[in-house]
Amino acid sequence: MTNIFERIKNFNVSVKELKDKVIFLRKLIPGGSQHSFGIYVAKIAGMPTSVVHRATKMLKQLEKNHTSQEVKDTLKTAAENDVQLSFFKLDDPLLEDIKEEILATNIDTLTPIEALMKLNEIKRMLIKK
């Protein structure tokens, strides 16, 4: 798009890569990035390990394939063979307890202090796990 539209410019965030870490330097530099750090960002954001692992596996498959047809075939195969991962374990009893706690709460009648106390209660439920 930068070649087509005069006012569009391509920038990326400067990074410093160490062994297994990436440090975002908070500095915009002209041009595209050599690597995508989406999986790393997902990992540090607390995404489930299974999601990060699957994304890493798919990225390695995509990097092996060079043509766009190969990429399409790889994605199609991955979609056919794997079920969609969820960010949450849907049969997790803790999530069910939290859901029930939230649904049983009438937020229209809570004072701000009561809302904070309820939030703290839910947070304690998570910490106990």
Residue 68 has a pLDDT of 59
Could you tell me if 43 and 15 lie in one domain? no
Average pLDDT, the chain: 82
**Which carries the bigger pLDDT value, residue 70 or residue 127?**
127
Is residue 95 predicted with pLDDT exceeding 70? yes
Could you tell me if 54 and 29 lie in one domain? no
Could you tell me if 42 and 82 lie in one domain? yes
**Secondary structure letter of residue 85 according to DSSP:** P
Q: How far apart are CA 85 and CA 48, in angstroms?
A: 10
Considering the entire predicted model, what is its pTM? Answer: 0.44
Structural domain harbouring 8: 1-35
Could you tell me if 43 and 23 lie in one domain? no
Could you tell me if 69 and 83 lie in one domain? yes
Determine contact, residues 95/89, Cβ cutoff 8 Å.
yes
Per the structure, the count of domains in the chain is: 3
